[in-house]
A and B are shown apart, each in its own frame.
Chain A
């Protein structure tokens, strides 16, 4: 350790003790001086971060002036000068020629309208339950240490959509189960055949995937068809007894519609996007061609034209008698649009996966779907979670375009309320927009923060 001693200490040891030792020889190393006061604490921070050079000082002064110019006005408008309570426009009008700030009384008065739209007031509890169920599903999915996330997945992707549909519309969500039987009673024959085929093949392939022989698998398919049809019949019989009043989608509105559309888009776009991405990377030329055409076509046109198309052209393409709800048409448009963008995000994840993973899976004797389901997709989706969430943020913001095709979403509710004569005051429009901005921002920023946290967590895992 001696060679590590400071020079002063070495000199002290080497100096002969006794007569030659002088009192003024420094035997001990001097303790380090504290850094100059101008380099530590607040002063030091300010010097380093704000006034390190002339140019930096100029920038700081400009930034301070800019902040002083913007922020006090915002605070005054949104908080200190704002009107918080009042029954109608009178409270938000100018007094003595001076305009008050934001008219929060207006937002307070119309909050129910912003959230529920024209949904019948005595039925609003159904929407509240929808919010609670949705929040449970989202929390279950996002909280990575939550128990039984596999059940959460089924809840989020299958149970929740059906329950929410039943809850909000009051219709039997499983009415399609009766189609196979309905074929014989004057129902639509193609639809009946389609549902029959789906049930039968579904049961058959689930059985085959569990390594059953063909004979028993056929039996399982038939059994599934029979059970589901009977169950559907029974449910259709019980349904009117539950007594949920029917609420037409034309009465849905406000934040509820925004959340329903965003939720459907989120649930639908991921599986569709995965299929499209797999199709685009497929070696089968026909599959690849269709996938590329669809993705590039949708990504090349604005969403608004897709919505126009869904709104005006979809009814033309359907056979006579098949009616599509306006909301459903918009949902189809938004879902297809989001899935094309999702496909590109998933494709990036697939491309980032080393080739050895594919080859390893093949060497293990896994088939294509087994390889994708068990090896490739779990890894590819994991690295691309932040991008998936970013696509969801875009989707959530894009739901606002629904107002252009006449759907009563959250922004439309604001637009309608702000020109209501009962609240005609100069500050009502800015207040309405500020409120809308805050609500959209909370949702989007929440998602963005989640994406960032996930990214950080994943990058920790990658640092070996």
Chain B
């Protein structure tokens, strides 16, 4: 806003102070304006606060966070930590938060995969692939996410058969309106050895990759990173697993008359929410990927070909590293959008933070101010932490110029 640098140039350099009325002096006017704004905002906040206190007292609603340790008294279907109807509201909060994080992590993983595939497909020279990807993006991006969620939940998953007529999937899994019932893996005594070998394989793959990169940068000689990696991460653990006599059994779901016992149940709400979020966000990620790849100038590809690199290495060593720099900022905001959009769970009854806490807990306690404030604080924290992490990553990957 107007400060000293908009001062009339005629007065510049002259010894005497310009004689202007204080409301015409940009600097003083700036101070005045800020004081007025500060008082106005302060007054609004004060009025809102005092009104809220008045209204809460009149409606006899308790304030403070005492409700946190009260008994919740309602049940939650999907939970990652133990939870009973006798648990506290605080416990319900954690159940909801973990469910939100679960759907966010799973959603981000699959949305990234699908988004990259579709983004690359949109740039394909193959006419059909290109058009199919374009149709996908234009169709999904231009319809509301909530509509898609309701469609997946009400029109697709609700149309699945009843428990008695469950669809039997290969591998002992069942699919019905109550969700997907899968065999639950039960690790045997020696299974931890396999996990240790797997961890060692991953570490070995990481070290080998670093060694190979250093070698390539020094000498130009390439190493079979992919095959060695596959051998270390998949091959060796698999051999150990077989050598130990396959120490892993499955607890198969058992189809009864009215219910299914055993196995792992994946709730239809979770499936619908994940499916909707993945399909919706992937279309936005695809656009970010396409824009990022197109931002790498054609000269880079041509120069790489001129140096004798084949199309594969050109993509891996020249185009993708430069494109990632452009892709990552919008990608981050899509990840955040996915996390925030997971709050639409409330429309299909998936017990996420908003549904459990800002829904049921708020209705039971009536403490709107505290509950909404906590909910918003959680999302704000997630947003800020992700932004900080991505800024750090961005700074590392930023173009280093002379």
Chain A residues within CB distance 8 Å of chain B: 49-50, 52, 56, 59-60, 63-64, 66-67, 278, 282-287, 290, 297, 299-305, 308-309, 312-313, 315-320, 362-363, 365, 367-368, 393, 397-398, 400-401, 403-404, 411, 415, 418, 426, 429-430, 433, 436-437, 440-441, 444-445, 448
Tell me whether A49 and B127 are in contact (CB under 8 A): yes
A319 to B383, CA, bound (A): 33
**Chain B, residue nearest A418 (CB):** B154
Instruction: Tell me which residues across on chain B come within 8 A of A401, comparing CB atoms.
Output: 146, 344
Among the stretches B29-37, B67-75, B393-401, the one at the interface with A is B29-37
Tell me whether A59 and B1 are in contact (CB under 8 A): no
Q: From residue A362, how far is it (CB to closest CB) to chain B in Å?
A: 6
Among the stretches B2-10, B236-244, B315-323, the one at the interface with A is B2-10
Chain B residues within CB distance 8 Å of chain A: 1-3, 5-6, 8-9, 26, 30, 33-34, 37-38, 41, 47-49, 51-52, 54-56, 58, 124-129, 132, 138-139, 141-147, 150-151, 154-155, 158-159, 340-341, 343-344, 346-347, 354, 358, 362, 368-369, 372, 375-376, 379-380, 383-384
Q: A287-B1, A313-B369, A437-B151 are in contact. List 5 more A-B contacts (CB 8 A).
A: A59-B124, A300-B384, A301-B340, A411-B146, A445-B142
Instruction: Tell me which residues across on chain A come within 8 A of B132, comparing CB atoms.
Output: 63, 66-67
Instruction: Tell me which residues across on chain B come within 8 A of A315, comparing CB atoms.
Output: 55
Known: A305-B379, A397-B144. A49 touches B150 (CB 8 A): no
**Chain A, residue nearest B387 (CB):** A300
Tell me whether A284 and B30 are in contact (CB under 8 A): yes
Instruction: Tell me which residues across on chain A come within 8 A of B141, comparing CB atoms.
Output: 444, 448
A63, A285, A367, A436 — which one has the most chain B CB atoms within 10 A of its CB? Answer: A63
In the complex, number of A-B residue pairs with CB atoms less than 8 Å apart = 170
A408 to B353, CA, bound (A): 25
A429 to B154, CA, bound (A): 7
Known: A287-B1, A404-B347, A436-B147. A50 touches B126 (CB 8 A): yes
Instruction: Tell me which residues across on chain A come within 8 A of B151, comparing CB atoms.
Output: 430, 433, 437
Instruction: Tell me which residues across on chain B come within 8 A of A319, comparing CB atoms.
Output: 47, 51
Which of A60, A302, A313, A400 interacts with B343 by CB under 8 Å?
A302
Q: From residue B32, how far is it (CB to closest CB) to chain A in Å?
A: 10
Query: 8 tightest CB-CB pairs across the interface, nearest first?
Result: A444-B142, A317-B48, A300-B383, A63-B128, A368-B2, A302-B340, A312-B368, A286-B34
Tell me whether A305 and B34 are in contact (CB under 8 A): no
Tell me whether B1 and A368 are in contact (CB under 8 A): yes
Tell me whether B155 and A313 are in contact (CB under 8 A): no
Tell me whether B144 and A411 are in contact (CB under 8 A): yes
Tell me whether B138 and A445 are in contact (CB under 8 A): yes
Which of A290, A316, A362, A398 interacts with B144 by CB under 8 Å?
A398
A299, A305, A318, A448 — which one has the most chain B CB atoms within 10 A of its CB? Answer: A305
A285 to B376, CA, bound (A): 26
A164 to B9, CA, bound (A): 49
Q: From residue B387, how far is it (CB to closest CB) to chain A in Å?
A: 9
**Chain A, residue nearest B379 (CB):** A301
A52 to B38, CA, bound (A): 67
Known: A286-B34, A305-B375. A400 touches B124 (CB 8 A): no
Selected A-B contacts with CB under 8 Å, 12 pairs: A60-B126, A287-B1, A297-B380, A304-B354, A316-B51, A317-B47, A320-B58, A400-B144, A404-B346, A404-B347, A433-B151, A433-B154
Tell me whether B126 and A302 are in contact (CB under 8 A): no
**Chain A, residue nearest B58 (CB):** A320
B126, B155, B376 — which one has the most chain A CB atoms within 10 A of its CB? Answer: B126
A267 to B132, CA, bound (A): 36
Q: From residue B267, how far is it (CB to closest CB) to chain A in Å?
A: 20
A444 to B140, CA, bound (A): 11
Known: A290-B37, A305-B358. A403 touches B369 (CB 8 A): no
Tell me whether A304 and B380 are in contact (CB under 8 A): no
Instruction: Tell me which residues across on chain A come within 8 A of B369, comparing CB atoms.
Output: 313, 316
Tell me whether B37 and A300 are in contact (CB under 8 A): no
Q: From residue B311, how far is it (CB to closest CB) to chain A in Å?
A: 10
A201 to B37, CA, bound (A): 17
Q: From residue B122, how far is it (CB to closest CB) to chain A in Å?
A: 13
A208 to B393, CA, bound (A): 52
Tell me whether B3 and A283 are in contact (CB under 8 A): yes
Instruction: Tell me which residues across on chain B come within 8 A of A284, comparing CB atoms.
Output: 1, 3, 30, 33-34
B128, B138, B159 — which one has the most chain A CB atoms within 10 A of its CB? Answer: B128
Tell me whether A282 and B147 are in contact (CB under 8 A): no
Instruction: Tell me which residues across on chain B come within 8 A of A286, comparing CB atoms.
Output: 34, 37-38
Instruction: Tell me which residues across on chain A come within 8 A of B128, comparing CB atoms.
Output: 50, 59-60, 63-64, 67
A49 to B142, CA, bound (A): 28
Tell me whether B54 and A320 are in contact (CB under 8 A): yes
Known: A287-B34, A440-B142. A312 touches B372 (CB 8 A): yes
A212 to B138, CA, bound (A): 54
Tell me whether B358 and A441 are in contact (CB under 8 A): no
Tell me whether A365 and B8 are in contact (CB under 8 A): yes
Tell me whether A367 and B2 are in contact (CB under 8 A): yes
Tell me whether B379 and A300 are in contact (CB under 8 A): yes
